[in-house]
Structure 1
Amino acid sequence: MDALYYSPSITPKDPKVALEIDGKQVEFGLFRHEEFSYDSEGRLSQITTLPVPFSPNDGKTDRYEYQPNQVIRYFSYTGTLEEKTVYTPDQFGNIYPPRNAEYDSDGFIVKNTYVYSTGKEAFTDGTDEYTIENGNIVKHIRIVPQLNRRQVTLFEYDLSKPNLPQIRNFEPRQSKNLPTQIITYWTFTGQTESNPYNVVSYRYTFDESSQIKRVVAVGDTYSGTGQKIAGSTSYSFVDYKISCQ
């Protein structure tokens, strides 16, 4: 699979793409180009990150080998020696599970802890909680106790369509259906007024074989009273090319 990532936050230079979104012409600059390869069992075997014009970074390669109860990663930047790292997957095959991950019977993470900083001190009492319904993650609550803060993310799906294929087979399980919108807001202990919140909407283009060709993400920020904040709209998109061997 070949993936090209574009954003208008990158000064549009060649190669660039102009899209019409909601009646507005938006120019996008290329900022990442990745190629993904898979073995005969459908497991990720290599990620090649190619240099793109005007990027300060050279290319890099991640290779993966699979042994019983082990995933071996070989990482290198172009022209450098490979670095080898050996991972032991957990019971659901994840090699990067979050701290103290708890799973449901279907292999979804429902709770974990994480480390965060107040700017002066690091704490380990942060928690993530997930609500799963019909094979989809519908709510994520992130609690930051020492800052009296709570972040809530709500996920909406097109239940008639399956999600895109999971690129990395050794990461936590993704939702079953195709995401259409993500809403994120924050609250603080004792707060009475509503905070601004973010909404990201996804638009998909498929080819005649129902393979994904493009994903466009449009983000907006709204005031606590539901008014769109002027100038807050952001855009990005990813183009895919899928080859079967």
Structure 2
Amino acid sequence: QVLEDDYLGWRLPDGPGPDVAKPGDRGDHVGIHEQRDGKFYIGAAPIAGRVSGDTLAAIADLAEAAGSDRIRLTPLQKILILDVPSDEVSAVVNGLRALELESSPGEFHRNVMACTGIEYCKLAIVETKATAREVVQSLDRAFPELDVPISVHVNGCPNSCARIQVADIGFKGQLVLDDETGAQVPGFQVHLGGRLGQGEDNDFGRKLRGHKVKADGMPEYIERVTRNYLDTRRQDEPFAHWAFRVDEEALR
């Protein structure tokens, strides 16, 4: 209203709202998908969104060898190779896998994302990419048959470039007190049950008073909460809904 009245002097167009995500529609483009022209695009998940320059060059070579000259990056830190002929799909999938870019990843590999972190960002307080990699490797081993997506977003400071408020489990980087040594160590404040694009059922997540996790305790914490969820969820209940329903003890 202020923008229209004080600055523009005219009303902004009011179009229809965005479509509500359907159950099971992830929107991350991971996997093998047929295009309208009969070719395919292949979406792959880097671990926590980290790729090197050498990896990017190898992806370009892989796409070129398959006859494609189009590569895309997504807001969910995924990589797509477009315009792949059907007889080149297997070669591209295997080539991506050799680069640790899975087109059929485990649930945590697929759903963990992280901001740049202290390695390259002057605003960050803690490391994120290496921590997220440890989370992926530990939890995909612990839950090889996980049947539901659980998103984990790791941010190195309060600015939330990794969008922690809309993740199932979000971590905001900060220094926390080590109870054993009394020293400050890298850690995170925890957000639980963030939801977006679910109609009226949106929320920026639940925070537990005084609840923080040390960085080296993240895999153990997520595993504990995930097991609590799997043991007590209702039929077809998403993690975000469960996180708002249960008592705090199940989330600590």
Q: Identify the structure with the greater strand proportion.
A: 1
Q: What TM-score do the two structures reach when normalised by structure 2?
A: 0.28
Q: Identify the structure with the greater helix proportion.
A: 2
